[in-house]
Structure 1
Amino acid sequence: MDALLTPQALAALLDATDVRLLDATHLLGDPGGEQSRRLFDDGHIPGARFMDLDHLVDPDTSLPMMMPSPERFAAAMAALGVGTDDRIVVYDQSPLHSAARGWWMLRSFGASEVAILDGGLAAWRAAGLPIEQGAAPDGEPGHFVPRPPAAHRRTLPQMQANLTIGAEQVVDARSPARFAGAEAEPRAGVVPGHIPGSQNLHYARLFDADGRWKRGPALAAAFADAGVDFERPVIATCGSGITAAVLAFGAHLLGHPMTVYDGSWAEWGSHPDTPKAKD
């Protein structure tokens, strides 16, 4: 299964018994994900389940969107009927392109066959394909066997150590204004700015005007223009780990690995002992 599917390619897979569809819509300013779930109930691809990113988090930290434990994630996926060996297609209805976060979490915890619907639900609708409404019915539980996501994730101590050794590049998916520290952060107690030495690649630059992913040379140019050198390891960061996963998926389309700093600026910008740079 390709990592990026057209609506027509996905439609051809809907009858396959090992294909699972997940709506991973996440919106800013939507505490608890209530608006995201209403969007799902108002219209979703037939057979899809709602991947509730707002609750797939670590409940023992005040930081937003931190990765849950493998056991918590596995239980949530099993409840959605998703197994580790299934072919999983993730899509969204969000300007944040939050399906990439769902893709990254699934891959981090051990699923190998995970794809994203190019253009999300908007592209599916534009293709004239069917829509279901209402909550998804309960189904058979899945068998999801998780693995620890250490290889895909960076922690605050690792990021602090990288400041000294400089072994990994850091690329920030936030807007240029937020990266420069020119506008206030949306979360209380978070200082504006960016990690010293990091580069800025706004996640929106990876998409065409119709919301579909850039491909090939156009996608590679977006990374190159931001100064990203794929000959060296790269860490993606953002505000809370959502759009950093967009950069990671873009790199994946180009055949390159990219890790994600899970705490992102919500953690770095609120920590009293981390240096903050401004342009």
Structure 2
Amino acid sequence: MNLLVSTDWLAAEMGKSDLRIIDATIFLPAHARSARAEFEGAHIPGAVFFDIEEVSDTSSNLPTMLPPAEKFASRCQALGLGDGSRIVVYDNSPLKSSARLWWMLSLFGAHEVAILDGGLAKWQAESRPLESGKPIVRHRHFTVWADKALVRDQSQMSENLRTKAEQVVDARSSGRFTGAEPDPRPGVRPGHMPGSKNLPYSEAFNADGTWKSPAELKALFDGLGIDLAKPLVATCGSGITAPVLAFAAALLGNTKVAVYDGSWSEWGASAHNPVVVGA
């Protein structure tokens, strides 16, 4: 199974016993929309809803931080996601949140995970079938595992300022990166980490929400002087859109891009962390 699958491919594979489909839509409060309610109103047949906000470290004061491995495995089992499943993730979110779940599943040990190109919007635009309501699923075993090589914390990012061992790419908008726009979170300074490069996650997509071609994605990284053959860490506002850049890199052959989970909501909130304002 490819990392990125088409609606044609999914339609042909639908109903196979090892295939699992997940809706990973998440909205910000400003969107004034309920991802779960919209899922129950209409979703791809056979899909289950993965609540990224609930399946997080709810003890943290930071948003949507990675949950303990045991919690993640438990939620996956309850959704019928098990060892050996082929998993296709989609979303209907302006945040392209299927990439966040792709990254989480990869980190927590799922081996075959793909993203549906174009998501629910493309599926609907092609007048493909939908269903509504809450799905009934059978529990399956999901092994507890976590590959911490795919995640970075604040201390590791601080150390990287000294060593410069890893390139850092920021998925936020250019206005938030430069500090021209205030951060939407109270108490979080505008700007970016010293030495980081800015690649807004939205630039990875065509106007219809499908992913840009590998050549176009490579040109985006090349334009910033990022070498995809070398270690790379992606960051953003709260860890939701950074995985878009990790997935783009994976499409180009680098499947080991790490994500700074706390991202700017953590870094910019600390008065001790250096912040650069400007391009």
Question: How would you bin the TM-score normalised by the shorter chain?
Answer: over 0.9
Q: How does 1:33-112 map to 2 (within 5 A)?
A: 35-112=34-111
Q: Secondary structure at the match of 1:114?
A: strand
Q: Is the 8 A contact 2:235 2:259 kept in 1?
A: yes
Q: For residue 269 of structure 1, what is the amino acid of its counterpart?
A: G
How many residues align? The count is 277
**TM superposition score normalised by structure 2:** 0.96
Compute the displacement of 1:34 (Å).
6.7
Match of 1:4 in 2: 4
CA RMSD of aligned residues (A): 1.3
Match of 1:195 in 2: 193
Which structure 1 residue ranges, 4+ long, deviate > 3 Å from structure 2?
A: none
Q: Does 1:29 align with 2:29?
A: yes
C-alpha separation between the residues in 2 aligned to 1:142 and 1:123?
30
Q: Secondary structure at the match of 1:116?
A: strand
Match of 2:156 in 1: 158
Q: Secondary structure at the match of 1:107?
A: helix
C-alpha separation between the residues in 2 aligned to 1:203 and 1:233?
19
Q: Does 1:270 align with 2:269?
A: yes
Deviations 1:128-172 (A, max 9, x none): 2100012223x2102111212311100111000000000000000
Q: Is the 8 A contact 2:169 2:233 kept in 1?
A: yes
Compute the displacement of 1:30 (Å).
6.2
C-alpha separation between the residues in 2 aligned to 1:103 and 1:175?
22
Mean CA deviation greater in 226-235 or 68-77? 226-235
Q: For residue 96 of structure 2, what is the amino acid of its counterpart?
A: H
Q: Does 1:131 align with 2:126?
A: no
Name stretches of at least 5 consecutive residues in structure 2 with no aligned partner.
Answer: none
Identity rate of aligned residues, in percent? 51
Structure 2 CA distance for partners of 1:133 and 1:6, relative to 1, 3 Å: same
Deviations 1:40-91 (A, max 9, x none): 1121000100010011110111000110000000001000000132000000
Q: Secondary structure at the match of 1:170?
A: strand
Match of 2:242 in 1: 244
Q: Is the 8 A contact 1:25 1:93 kept in 2?
A: yes
Compute the displacement of 1:231 (Å).
2.9
Q: Is the 8 A contact 1:84 1:146 kept in 2?
A: no
Match of 2:171 in 1: 173
**TM superposition score normalised by structure 1:** 0.96
Q: Is the 8 A contact 1:24 1:99 kept in 2?
A: yes
Name stretches of at least 5 consecutive residues in structure 1 with no aligned partner.
Answer: none
Q: Is the 8 A contact 1:4 1:117 kept in 2?
A: yes
Q: Is the 8 A contact 2:192 2:275 kept in 1?
A: yes
